[in-house]
């Protein structure tokens, strides 16, 4: 079972953005994935994070999932080899928190009032890094 740490980050910014966590498998439930992505625009979805353990072509932000055989290289390649015209922002293998932070960063450009909490989060990251202490999310 793969742990998805990005809900922790989305939770920190819950007051800023509506978010939905929907776990669908393009391999096991392809019809549900197609229906969800087709409805995304009319549902006003602004950013989508797709964790991929194998090939998927639905990501806006690709979060490669570490896999057993190739340690996530297969996931990474399935995202970064998208054809022209299908841009996908890609983060590190196993870096789902960064995918969530990228989504928050993108949305904060549209919602300038909410950007303050993101800036406080970044300042706390910097402080914790400089002091070598665990990060305490601003809140």
The mean of the pLDDT values for the chain is 76
Query: Are 75 and 82 within 8 A, CB to CB?
Result: no
Q: Is residue 95 part of a domain?
A: yes
Which pLDDT score, from 0 to 100, does residue 38 have? 82
State the Cα–Cα distance between residues 48 and 65, nearest whole angstrom: 16
Q: Is residue 136 part of a domain?
A: no
Give residue 33's domain range. Answer: 6-131
Q: How many domains does the chain have?
A: 1
Query: Are 90 and 69 within 8 A, CB to CB?
Result: no
Q: Is residue 1 part of a domain?
A: no
State the Cα–Cα distance between residues 61 and 64, nearest whole angstrom: 10
**Degrees, nearest 5: CA angle 78-8-138:** 130
Q: Is residue 118 part of a domain?
A: yes
Query: What CATH number should be reported for the domain holding residue 122?
Result: 3.40.50.1970
Which pLDDT score, from 0 to 100, does residue 119 have? 92
Instruction: Count the helices and strands in the chain (H runs, E runs).
Output: 5, 3
pLDDT one digit per residue (tens) for the chain, 139 residues: 344 556 667 677 766 556 666 777 666 777 887 788 788 778 877 777 766 544 444 547 888 888 888 888 888 888 888 777 777 888 889 888 888 888 888 888 888 877 888 899 899 989 999 998 877 665 5
Q: Is residue 21 part of a domain?
A: yes
Q: Is residue 36 part of a domain?
A: yes
Residue 32: its H or E element? helix 30-40
Sheet holding 49-52, edge to edge: 49-52, 61-64, 89-90
**Degrees, nearest 5: CA angle 6-125-63:** 25
Q: Is residue 81 part of a domain?
A: yes
Which pLDDT score, from 0 to 100, does residue 130 have? 93
Helix, strand, coil percentages for the chain (3-state, nearest 5): 45, 5, 50
């Amino acid at each position: 079972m793969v742990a998805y740490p990005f809900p922790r980050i989305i939770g920190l910014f819950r007051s800023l953005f509506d978010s939905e966590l929907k776990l669908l498998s393009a391999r096991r439930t392809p019809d549900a994935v197609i229906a969800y992505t087709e409805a995304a625009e009319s549902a006003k979805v602004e950013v989508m994070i797709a964790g991929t353990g194998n090939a998927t072509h639905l990501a806006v932000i690709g979060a490669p999932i570490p896999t057993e055989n190739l340690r996530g290289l297969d996931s990474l390649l399935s995202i970064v080899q998208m054809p022209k015209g299908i841009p996908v922002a890609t983060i590190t293998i196993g870096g789902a928190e960064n995918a969530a932070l990228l989504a928050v960063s993108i949305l904060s450009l549209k919602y300038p009032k909410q950007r303050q909490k993101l800036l406080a989060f970044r300042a706390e990251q910097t402080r914790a890094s400089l002091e070598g202490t665990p990060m305490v999310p601003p809140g």
